[in-house]
Amino acid sequence: MEQERVPVLVVGGGYAGLSAAALLAWREVPVILVERHASTSVQPKAFGVGPQALEMLRSVPGVEEELTAIWAGIGENMRIAIAGSLADPQPRMIVHDEQEEFAFMAELTPVPAVGAPQAEIERILRTKAEDLGADLRFSTELVSLEQDAAGVSAVIRDKDGERLVRAEYVIAADGYRSPLRAALDVPTSGKGSLGELCSIMFDADLSGLVREREVTLWYLQNDVFTGVIVTGTGTGSHVLGVNLKEGESEADFTEERCVELVRLATGRPELDVRVLDRPLVGISHVLADTYRAGRVFFAGDAAHTMPPTGGQGGSTALEDGCELAWRLWLVLSGQAGPAFLDTYDAERRPIGRLMADSQLANLGVRMPPAARVGYPEPLEDPIGVLLGRRYHSSAIIDEPGDDGSILEDPRVPTGRPGSRAPHVVLDWDGQLISAIDLFGTGFVLLAAKPGGQVWMDAGRLVKDRLGIRLTRLLVGDELVDVEGRFMERYGVREGGAVLVRPDGYVAWRSPDADPDPLGTLERVLRRILSR
């Protein structure tokens, strides 16, 4: 059997797999991705990219610009509501109105709001990954996988037959059923299957029902069905999702019935409707009890299958892929020890549960086919979920008295270890940038004049001694703190310093001057990198 070798094999060509492949290739790590389907998604599916996912993806040249261009061609706003139909003169509840609620986001992140259908997002990520050298193989499936102390042996099959791929690590991004998760006997928890939804993709003239240049996502609760309708996705079509009732099956959703359901959902009994597709989609709340099985790492729906209510499943999957890419790069390049990879499970699994539970809570309110006994309550502040998540692992050095929380209010940034590095406006040689623009290529050591030069000197020595990618930047020298917020937002005083990881999270900080900056910084980096 023909054999190939590659550092990383990715199984699955959805959000998690494609983001991992793109970020690995961008970091010049050879990667093979196999996907059993012939192409990326053709349905809108998940819509939009969360700000934290986009902050990591924007490191790949052109990704942010292309995603922003798609959104510019689609609309200017997204509105989410609960109603009986699109024709209701007054929705029962406005869940979200982007223009009204999110104007303040420009104070927290440099990335724009991006609403784009999954089909377009996957297309962009696929193109970028391939342009960067990733080997993406569609119509190719994983047949078997075996692990040993030195790596993974995977048999894959395409139209030309089977071949053996020898990889050091595998990313299992193979969907909510995850054959790899089952084959490796990874236990799961959660509410399990919550039913099915018929996803009716249709074409119709909805003029007068929806605002121009707005994506409308309305959760429908009426006497006939519960579900959700999404319009204005930029694909030239719309989607109506209808919850299956007990005893219903795919056979019940004939083209004629789908047309009638669309008419009910829009409130236009004479609407001319053309049904384009009508697959069944499972709704589940399934959480892998570990994100790592030897040399295999689970990402996306394989790690955390969540209801669609809240729209963060896709962004969470994108983040998984990005988070795995930089960790694998550090280990494969020798900058971090193998134990460093344990931090993926330690950090991402609590976030996966948080996001899944949040969407489960939304399901009970927005799409309730029955009483949701035992469901969590919806979060009072969804902004914390978007930008206020915190990590705890051996790659984060908590400060004394840290409360161990995994959420904080991003509108009041603390800069404490485990939190996302705050957005601060800086001037770099006459160009205004965000502090977020500094992160992605490696670790970044930040300190402020006049006492920060000792950290810059220590960083130069430690960088050479450990052989790591470390950028040293002095605020007040090459970087000008335009609004005078750096020290306040990062929680450092004169002589202090902060270390930020490639994913934009604060790994450690010294709020004040240190008597031994060289020794401290080397100990910190050795501990963080499992050296």
Q: Do 3-72+114-186+286-385 and 388-528 come out as alike in CATH topology?
A: no
Instruction: Give the DSSP letter string of 500-514.
Output: E-TTSBEEEEESS--
Q: Which CATH class is domain 3-72+114-186+286-385?
A: alpha beta
Q: Which CATH class is domain 388-528?
A: alpha beta
Distance CA 228, CA 45 (A): 12
Task: Indicate the domain borders of the chain.
Answer: 3-72+114-186+286-385, 388-528
Per-residue pLDDT of the chain (531 residues; tens, 9 = 90+): 788 999 999 999 999 999 999 999 999 999 999 999 998 876 666 677 889 999 999 999 999 999 988 877 666 667 788 889 988 877 766 666 655 556 678 889 999 878 778 888 999 999 999 999 999 999 999 999 999 999 999 999 999 999 999 999 999 999 999 999 999 999 999 999 988 999 999 999 988 887 776 777 889 999 899 899 988 765 568 899 999 998 999 999 999 999 999 999 999 999 999 999 999 988 999 999 999 999 999 999 999 999 988 888 999 999 999 999 999 999 999 999 999 999 999 999 999 999 999 999 888 888 775 546 567 777 767 788 889 999 999 999 999 999 999 999 999 999 999 999 999 999 999 999 999 999 999 999 999 988 999 999 999 999 999 999 999 999 998 899 999 999 999 999 999 999 999 999 999 999 999 999 999 999 999 999 999
How many helical (H) and strand (E) elements, i.e. helices and strands, does the chain have?
13, 26
Give yes or no for a cis peptide into 450 (omega within 30° of 0): yes
Q: What is the pLDDT of residue 478?
A: 83
Q: What is the pLDDT of residue 164?
A: 97
Residue with tokens 């995977």: 154
Q: What is the pLDDT of residue 96?
A: 60
3-state secondary structure 141-196: EEEEEEEECCEEEEEEEECCEEEEEEEEEEEECCCCCCHHHHHCCCCEEEEEEEEE
DSSP-based three-state secondary structure for 25:
helix
Q: What is the pLDDT of residues 481-523, one digit of tens each?
A: 999 999 999 999 999 999 999 999 999 999 999 999 999 999 9
3-state secondary structure 308-370: CCCCCHHHHHHHHHHHHHHHHHHHHCCCCCHHHHHHHHHHHHHHHHHHHHHHHHHHHHHCCCC
Which residues participate in catalysis according to the annotation?
219
Q: What is the pLDDT of residue 44?
A: 60
Q: What is the pLDDT of residue 381?
A: 74
